[in-house]
Amino acid sequence: MHYDCDILIAGGGLAGGCLALALQATGWRVAVVEAVTDEQRRTSPAGDRALALAYGTVRVLDRLGVWNGVAQQAAPIEQIHISDRGHFGKTRLSARQEGVEALGYVITARVIETHVAEALSASSVEYLCPTRIIGLKSGSEGVCISLKSGDDSLNKTARLVVGADGGNSSVRRLLEIKQKTRDYGQTAIVTLVKPQHDPAHTAYERFTASGPLAFLPTSDGCCSVIWTQVSDEAEALMALPDSAFLERLQDAFGYRLGRLSLCAPRRGFPLTLVQAEQMIAERAALIGNAVHQLHPVAGQGFNLGLRDVAQLAELLIRADAEGEDPGSNRLLNRYDEARRRDHQAVIGFTDQVVRIFSNRLLPLSAARNAGLMALDHLPWLKHTLARHAMGMGGRVPRVGRMLRSVR
């Protein structure tokens, strides 16, 4: 069979773009197909969302050569302050106690996406953009992929297709992989505020009766706000004038950073858990949100997705060195096995956090308050939580371990 490329990646977002960059130094001929133009990406409101990147994620981005280009626009998280509104329970995780420079970093999605797209355009990777994957037929010999670019249709053949096309993945649908979906009935309201006092590299996670509220410190002394609310309440908050919204936000967060002023429009992201029932099929693998679209409460989506990237990259780099077929069942099964436990752990953890911390029932609210108080007095448990927050709780694939220094 003739192959136009060895590996075709559908989706040049965070996961797909990073995988292509990880493979550029190999002998594999890689093509990336991305539906959205660079200009559309630069101006999309969704790009405003702030990502809390775990320490482990930053190490992988550094290894991929991405971090250097974006580090100046990232803010370190030196402490995480977790509290429950209206209760005494609180705890604080600290980078110093963990012996690291930062527990993680905050950066807007747009900064990384733009940098990755630019790096892709300048690389040896074939970058087809704007082009959309619309059809797929995989067999034991290879995969035939149908693409649409404006009015033009084209076909490509590859040894392996990787679905990195997000929560609404066409690849997942075309492979007829079933998905589990849970609508949380919640919306994340995202905005930016300038507090009166410098957040001093502290991230705040505050659990309120109506949902969790996160303040993430940005590089310019502001805080990126992610406020999760039941969808009806979110709609009402979105409809308020700025001053009334700010009053509600101030009331929920309190005055530990003094008065807040609003410095960006509000955006609403409806929250649904989407989980593919399989992450591999014949000559096909899924990575990132195409496998798991999570609630952002624990800030784990991209952190988890980048570990998919690192794992698949590690296997493909080894296959290149050993002359193995990149779409072999053996390789794909190893990818599936290596990723399953991490997926289950993070999805389960995120789901529990949503259930416990979005709940107004008194016993649960008392339990989480007691849990936060207990946590504050159990250094080993705090250390475990901090390791998870840093993305260091499980095995880090080789792409993440063979590292240059961060920053």
Applying CB under 6 A, the residues found at the interface with ligand FAD are 10-16, 33-36, 49, 51-52, 109, 132-133, 164-166, 170, 188, 190, 226, 269, 288-289, 296, 299-303, 305
**Smallest separation, CB 294 to ligand FAD (Å):** 7
**Smallest separation, CB 165 to ligand FAD (Å):** 4
**Smallest separation, CB 246 to ligand FAD (Å):** 19
Nearer to ligand FAD, 104 or 326 (CB): 104
The pair of structure tokens assigned to 392 is: 């260091």
Nearer to ligand FAD, 311 or 365 (CB): 311
Nearer to ligand FAD, 42 or 259 (CB): 42
**Distance between CA atoms of residues 369 and 386, nearest Å:** 18
**Smallest separation, CB 193 to ligand FAD (Å):** 15
**Smallest separation, CB 271 to ligand FAD (Å):** 8
3-state SS track over the chain: CCCCCCEEEECCCHHHHHHHHHHCCCCCCEEEECCCCHHHHHHCHHHHCEEEEEHHHHHHHHHCCCHHHHHHHCEEECEEEEEECCCCCEEEEEHHHHCCCCCEEEEEHHHHHHHHHHHHHCCCCEEECCCEEEEEEECCCCEEEEEEECCEEEEEEECEEEECCCCCCHHHHHCCCCEEEEEEEEEEEEEEEEECCCCCCEEEEEEECCEEEEEEECCCCCEEEEEEEEHHHHHHHHHCCHHHHHHHHHHHHCCCCCCEEECCCCEEEEEEEEEECCCEECCEEECHHHCEECCHHHCCHHHHHHHHHHHHHHHHHHHHHHCCCCCCHHHHHHHHHHHHHHHHHHHHHHHHHHHHHCCCCHHHHHHHHHHHHHHHCCHHHHHHHHHHHCCCCCCCCHHHHCCCCCC
Which residue in this structure is represented by tokens 């900064």? Answer: 111
**Smallest separation, CB 12 to ligand FAD (Å):** 6
Nearer to ligand FAD, 11 or 195 (CB): 11
Nearer to ligand FAD, 85 or 267 (CB): 267
Nearer to ligand FAD, 301 or 326 (CB): 301
Q: Within 13 A of 77's CA, how many CA atoms are on the CB side?
A: 30
Nearer to ligand FAD, 87 or 267 (CB): 267
**Smallest separation, CB 24 to ligand FAD (Å):** 17
Nearer to ligand FAD, 50 or 331 (CB): 50
Q: Is the preceding peptide bond at 397 cis, omega within 30 degrees of 0?
A: no
**Smallest separation, CB 211 to ligand FAD (Å):** 13
Nearer to ligand FAD, 184 or 302 (CB): 302
**Smallest separation, CB 26 to ligand FAD (Å):** 20
**Distance between CA atoms of residues 361 and 379, nearest Å:** 28
**Smallest separation, CB 90 to ligand FAD (Å):** 21
Q: Which of 317, 87, 50 is nearest to 208 (CA)?
A: 87
Nearer to ligand FAD, 15 or 315 (CB): 15
